[in-house]
Chains A and B, each alone.
Chain A
Amino acid sequence: MIQNFILQPIFLLLITFFGYLVVNLISPQVKYIEKISLSFIIGLGLYTFVIFISNWLFGTPIKISPIIAILAWLVMTAIYLNLCFKRKNIFPFQINNWSKRTLRWTLGLSKFEKILFLILVFIFGSLLLSNLYWPIWSWDAVALFDFRARQILSFGQILGSFDLTPGSYPLLTSLAHVLVYIVGGKNPQYLYFLFLLSPSIIFYLFLRRFMERSHSLISLILLTSLPLVTVQTQSALTDLPQSAFLLTGFIYLILGLHDDKKYYVVLSGLLFSLSMWARNEPFWMLAMLVLFIFSFKRKWFILDGVFLATIYAISYPWTNFIKTNAVPLVYAADQLDTHNIPLTNPMFWVVMPEFIFKNIIFPVWPFFLAFLLLLVIRRKNLTEIVKLITFSIFIILTFLVVGTSMFVITYPQWPALYNSLQRMLIFLYALLIADTSLLLFPTKSEL
């Protein structure tokens, strides 16, 4: 009981503090509120990654004492590095100042904004309540992510506690569950609420730079009221954490290119690499492509290298771990009953576009249509930020078309992928909403 009510919050605050220190170290110029918002997801991502590395390479058992020792070491190192690089605001304890600003912000809202704010309070409040009440229940989470967590918890080791296959998902969410269990928590479901809250604040603050407060709040409501988002927040799957990293990664990449600020790009690289720690899917390539195209003129070649190195540093260990330890899957004969369609088959050109339309466009088709219409209307006076987001959206869509085509050609069970495809695209829908809002509402300079 004591562990649950005292140790758990302290532990989570320490993880958040560690995340804050990391953001403060690599991007000290980022706003205070943004640092706080990013701190939990970055802290949790890096901390679980270090636990994995130390267990794999040095055999450090995943028990309470070594876990706390690792966290203490990480926090101390981050403080030391912050001091070495002469970073200010190492301790984010300006609560008095912060609470005054929050109070001023809330009081400064117009009546219409207060109603929008209340809608958001209802959505986030209900999601938090739901996540605190329900245990881990979604089928895949129970069978896979939470199962792995419970196995790791009882064995104290990663290797040997569950079956590793070449396609095994990275351990971010499973180790996050382990952390909650290890400090006496019974239900790690609430972590997924934090994985929504963090990118939501960043999304709002990003739009707020360019738009009025009420317009940014409307855009945030459009995003958080998507049924896909509310359902994912209540399911303990890896798609929401991945989308949280990808969305914030794209936002900081776009801001970095827009404002010509390298530290945003470095932060973006860290966020993209952590998305690989949530789900091992190559969305970072899109970011790399956008960065490479736009940084060519700026001659940011070293930055490109740093970006790539960060991604490699986080994704390579898991790939290598899988390569050395996974047991190849043997498909049963009936599972190999292939449905894949070669490129030469005329049906390919019917099936592939249909699959794309049905599963990527159709769930949010009014947004897509409105976005395209607005793009046509405003084509002559597109702002720099709109151009950057639009370009990113088209790169992502192209990637999805190419990726789906490859799956249709090579993967026998491609029709079953529709569900996971939709789930992983929350970040695309968020970018679409952001871009549509920027096209629709007048920007600050226009007002």
Chain B
Amino acid sequence: MTWIKDVFDPKARRWEELYRDRWQHDKVVRSTHGVNCTGGCSWGIYVKDGIVTWELQQTDYPTIDPEIPPYEPRGCARGISSSWYIYSPLRVKYPYVRGALLDLWAKAKEKESDPVTAWASIMRDEAGRRRYQEARGKGGFRRVSWDDALDIVAASTIYTVKEHGPDRVIGFSPIPAMSMLSYASGARFLQLLGGVTLSFYDWYSDLPPASPEVWGEQTDVCESADWYKSAFIATVGSNVNMTRTPDAHFLTESRHAGSKVVVFSPDFSDVSKHADWWVPVNAGQDAAFWMAVNHVILKEFHFERKPAAFLDYLKRYTDSPFLVVLEKSKEGYTAGRLLRANQVSGYKSEENGDWKLLVYDAKAKSLAMPQGSVGFRWQERKGLWNLEMKDASDGREIDPLLTFLEDNDGILQVDVADFAADRGLKRGVPFKSVKLSGGSKALVTTVYDLLMAQFGVSRGLEGDYPKGFDDDSQPFTPAWQEKLTGIGRKTVISFAREWAETAERTGGKCMVIIGGGANQWYHTDLTYRAVIASLMLCGCVGKSGGGLAHYVGQEKVAPLASWSALAFAQDWVKPSRLQNAPSFHYVHTDQWRYEGPYSAYYSVPKESPAEHTIDVQVRAVRAGWLPFYPQFNRNPMEVFRDAENSGAKTDEEKAKWVARQLKEGKLRFAVEDPDAPENWPRLWFIWRANALLASAKGHEYFLKHYLGTHTGTVADEVAKGSTKEVTWREESPRGKIDLVVDVNFRMDTSALYSDVVLPAATWYEKSDLNTTDLHSYIHPLSPAVQPCWESRTDWDIFKAIAKRVSEMAKAHLPAPVKEIVAVPLQHDTADELAQPSVKDWAKGECEPIPGKTMPRFAVVERDYTKLYDEFVSFGPLARRDGLGAHGVHWDVSDLYDELARRRPFTFPDGRKLPSIEDAVDAANTILYLSPETNGEVAYRAFKSEEAKVGVALADLSDEGRKTSYTYDQLVEQPRRILNSPVWSGIVSGKRTYSPFTLNVERLVPWRTLTGRQQSYLDHEYFLRFGEKLPTYKPKPDAASLSELGKSDGRKGIVLNYLTPHGKWHIHSTFSDNLRMLTLSRGLEPLWLSVKDAGSIGVKDNDWVEAFNDNGVTVTRAVVSARIPDGACFLYHAPERTISVPKSPARGYQRAGGHNSPTRLRLKPTLMVGGYAQFTYSFNYWGPTGVNRDTFVVVRKLEGEIRW
């Protein structure tokens, strides 16, 4: 082959300039993707001749430690295809309004020159209103000028505020962290207006309710570099490769560094490739596996071997030693509430005695009251809210007894529920008798002893205990779980042994990476609690390389305190109207009307009455557990006026007047009659979201009841007769919403169905900030080019709307107006002590006391003519009240003044306030006032926390005290966040962020009832629903969900319908991007197993129809051996705008999207409030929008494909 020559000759190679020319570029600009993604990857955007050409990753993250793999490069196929959007045919380049509405508007404007009056005339024209509502989603867009679009939007806003009340204006945008200013733009506008901001984390079913339940924490997880420190990683329903693409290398690298990886996933998912063991647990049955794991750990380690480290950990950091009162039940005893300090004579007069819990001190052989429970957090005397092992009354050292097995007053047979077999069991538990202050006696045991009984570890005690691991007649043995999980007992046993042994050898370096595959089921909290138990029992939580790493939608706004103040306009007005979206949509889209009592699909103890979820929802609002907007059946401005006219002078008197009106039924909560026109939401702003499809569980009900356009649901409304608290209206309303405004850069499903579409800048055209919890850096978005065509940044769009609203207000709302804002009891405030027991004032069980037994009613004043001025300046409340988050507060007055000096905005009254006119100013304001980005603030925050907790903490701010980041610095290079008491991890030195290390190492309590990790939940609802301890409950089956009544399963095959996060999109973003569509199959297909596909005659790439009574979706099939029988996968989330044909099952109407077959089902236990960690906070607590308990009929598409 001598004729293959190396060529050096420059002449022969002059053509090589061709590719060099193509590579040439003019500049590289740092930005990222503000989509709903946890990546938080810093990108270089390449610009050539003023055009964005492509992007490649920035790789300059500061090194944490050369002995752990670096964070470079970060990114994924989706992010790198982002530049496609900018000049694509999907780009929204101009404002659009639907023609049917525009015609009405033009006509109205001919008659009425005033835009608000013109809008009012359209709203009064019922036929016209119906006409444009029915046209929604059916084409007919017309390009309009920004001026005209803003006129419509502002007129509708003013009209709605005046006519119905500001709490009829709602807004939705998800997960702020990835572009926090864009989120803040709309949220700030809404809160200045008095509108409603809808939550996202719970709505997406990404909030793991077990986290608030166990830790009093929304979610706090380790950064991905911490995986490297683990010795044993179990992934549970988390497809790391696919959904944590930039981080996945830490998993493989951890493996190479000697850790073991076990993957739990029903399908052979991408991450299974990295598994030492792949354990294909049946979909949705993980809880059964982990319950049995705990059985083995408790038996072999806790009972037999007793590793000192495990026992010591449980004593210090969990509720295991706390005492529970055993109450007489029908034929034995049942575990009731935790023993309260004020129940016994020694501690009777304790402040907050209902909220201080007791243990049995092995040293003194007597009851003891450890420091740190929630009662100490909110008492007058500070400094006792910590985890030192001391009795709070006299400071003596204590050694809480974990079990009464050796030292007891006898054994009692205690009830244990076996929900899988639908039966009750009795298991022996050792008890002690303690004297109560009234002279009576209580029989108590420890949480630890109850755990042993619950998990079925007999320890030689009598009762319905299993005989060994092979006994499958009793829960929760390895043999017992086989039928549920499909996994053999041997696997459970060896897994549990290796798990606990590894934890013992490494000091807790066992980690569970868990995600949507476990979290999006009805019983997610039970699954998580079973998993968390295995971590607690082996001392893994709060350890670097250990603990629960929940990754689904959990992004973290690192500078939370200053950001929240700015985003929710709390610098100008408090409180905010923050609504949990699952409750909101369940009620307002009327999905509650399509189901009967929850007992059909939810296993609850027999003695628990069968109720309808809507009734629990109504009671939760009444009791101040959950927010609900609109608040009342009247405009809250009107309610204020009436209160004033009644003679109520102070704000407190007005609140009392409102409470009285409610009690007397003269005023009603809107939730009690959601279908009455005065209670509908009216105007909806959607930005950086796909609220009408991607996240819309029960999408077809959104189309029907919100939009009033075509729908794919054929389900019957069946709730009549089974509800008590809610008014049943025979005819359900269609088209509740007057106007949907979508701010978007691409024509997605939500844009297509909206009335007004405003062109938004992409992520390469604006300034913003980005953080995530997958890494510990903060970095910016910055503009590579100006916003193209007529697009504007979100910040500028909401500024423009605010300006137009202010202008129109001069005629319509010229003077400041006051109104009543109803808010629920709040987490991280003394409201956590509001309701030691559940009482309903509406039933006369207690008095209606605002802020105690019902919501708080606050009086606020708004000047709509100043809306714009307030928007663009950082208001004085921040200076007056300081800032804070998660119960930590600090003063910022001097820093505020400094900001006002640097960049002043002159308010109409002459005051100089810090300007946030420009998004960069807003970014700098955020960076300057939060501990994570300004070391001086960190110092103040730690000092203030020290005083509350009573242990030294401020040294944690030493390393970063002189650091203060600015936006420009971040543009230069990403920077690492600083230690902050707002979060529970530590990042100084070479540490990787790991949650709860602050609790374990510095003895700061968890924000729970006992101040410890809580495995026993003694709220009345958890007792009543049989979920006080970790347990297993059957997942709802196809029959119990009753959504196949009109969808004949014989026409195809009935399959569990799963929508896990996919490979070619981040939710729906990128799903319509040509790059991703080309690398997949040109659409989002339905994955079927070989056997299931064969049974309905479907071959790979055939068109299929998947439907139930809720709706239908049509796509092509992928037939793969990777998929288990009995389930089909439609990866989240395709657009119904791309390649969706018509559906034969619905008479050749356009088929729907992935959320068409879903319908909301809320879990009642997640609605409770006013009780320690069970106290509402936005995106922290409340029922979640679960979606995996869904079944569809799948069949081959009949006949020709029609477009």
Q: A and B: partners?
A: no
Q: Residues of B with Cβ closer than 8 Å to A?
A: none
